[in-house]
Amino acid sequence: MTPRDTQKERLRELPSVDQLAISVARAELKARREELLAGATDDVDLVHRARERLRPRLRRVLNATGVVVHTNLGRAPLAVEARAAVAKAAEGYCNLEFTLADGRRGSRSDHVDGVLCELTGAEAGLAVNNCAAAVLLATAALAGGHETVVARGQLIEIGGGFRIPEILAQAGTHLIEVGTTNRTRLADYAAALGPDIGAILRAHPSNFRTVGFVEDVDIEALCSLGVPVIDDLGSGVLRDDWDLLAQEPSVRRSVRAGAALVAFSGDKLLGGPQAGVLVGTRAAVHACRVHPLARAVRIDKLSLAALEATLALYRDPAAARRALPVLAMLDADPAVLERRARELADATGGRVVGAVARVGGGALPLLELSGPAVALDPGVAGADALAAALRLGEPALIGRVHEGQVLLDPRTLTDGEAQCAAQVVRAARA
Ligand SMILES: *Cc1c(COP(=O)(O)O)cnc(C)c1O
């Protein structure tokens, strides 16, 4: 087929005016009728609402907040390689649970098991839907029906309702708290280990720090107690030879220490898709694989494709730092940020000021990434009104309001996105 034929074909596939209009009008009128019956007295523009209904709800946005792993904005943008893998997996069929060598049924976890072992030194690995699911599955599989010991300082809330005590209850394990909020010692753990112990859980206090009179037990000592240790690292880092991320716990270290299971996120500092990764001993990973919850928290083929491609990049750490957007943004060349900020300021009539970017996603909460940002003149309407107008731009531009100014941080924009951001600013002003 020629491109012209394809175009004709696509034109023929468009729904008729009647079809489109009737379906949107029905939905809109039904919603309005319900509002009126519920007592609404406001005036609404139903045509505008119908137009909005036809736009995708999940939209591309320009992240100019300087928060690199922004959970509300979808966390990690994917590397080119991961995007290509997703497109390929989405386009046709794939050997998701099929062994090409013998034509038998295969396991979806086989696709990343090998590379996870290679990168972390673990005996086995498994990918699930997200790290919250990984922790739920790990505790259910190793300690369901038994006891789990957790330090009081680690009974944390990650956000989005993920609280360790509640997750343990859902996993069907009985929580035994040890130590105090600020200090827990090895002897506290040892004293709590009874005949019904299932596991010790260590949870990384990702998004806060306790300072001062504090003491906790390192992973090597915990593993020396002879009880299966589940180590929830949250973000975690795969490479422990990188200064910038040295404050985050390393996956390799926990594996080396002998943790039964180490859990970490696919879309925090790893820089991949939403996923949860479990690595550890063969027996512990097997227990997770065969647990009934495994099916409920399994990873889908698109995320799996992106995760495999992301992990493959880590085989060459220098290449990973360039190719993975999250790592590249954290490690951005100051000269590039300076130039991008200047161009954005010139194109928007803003000023280049000093600002602080953040990692986000509950990782490295104290790390400040200093760099330039563009402060926009808020005009008479003020900064909040300008920020709101930018959010309604096409595409939406999300900045940060700081001391009465809207700041645009070039760290979380590409060069192309920065040009696009300038157009959004000009359109919002016009
Ligand atoms: C972020 C985090 C989780 C949850 O990870 P998701 O991938 O967002 O589900 C679990 N535990 C810790 C310690 C975390 O920081």
**Residue whose CA lies nearest to ligand 1 atom number 12:** 234
Res 365: pLDDT? 84
Average pLDDT for residues 25-51, to the nearest whole number?
A: 90
Q: Which atom of ligand 1 is nearest to the CA of 205?
A: 13
All structural domains of the chain with their residue ranges: 3-49, 61-75+327-429, 80-320
- The CATH architecture that domain 80-320 belongs to is 3-Layer(aba) Sandwich (3.40)
- Which pLDDT belongs to residue 169? 98
pLDDT at 87 over 90: yes
Q: Where are any strands of DSSP class E within 266-390?
A: 276-280, 351-360, 369-376
Mean pLDDT calculated for residue range 361-368: 84
- Output the CA torsion 268→332→358→302 (10° steps): -20
Q: Note the pLDDT of residue 1.
A: 57
Range scoring the smallest mean pLDDT among 92-96, 316-320, 422-426: 316-320
Span of 300-304, 330-334, 336-340, 378-382 with lowest mean pLDDT: 378-382
Q: For ligand 1, atom 14, which residue shows the shortest CA distance? A: 234
Q: What is the 3-state secondary structure (H, E, C) of 2-14?
A: CHHHHHHHHHHHC
Q: Give 406-418 pLDDT, tens digit per residue.
A: 999 999 999 999 9
- Report yes or no: 167 and 155 within 8 Å, Cβ to Cβ: no
Mutate to test the pocket of ligand 1, among 71, 131, 155, 248 (most ligand atoms within 8 A of CB): 131
Q: How much is the pTM?
A: 0.92
pLDDT for residue 366: 82
Architecture of the structural domain at 61-75+327-429 = Alpha-Beta Complex (3.90)
Least Cα distance to 315 among 122, 115, 124, 126 occurs for 115
pLDDT tens sequence across 88-133: 999 999 999 999 999 999 999 889 999 999 999 999 999 999 999 9
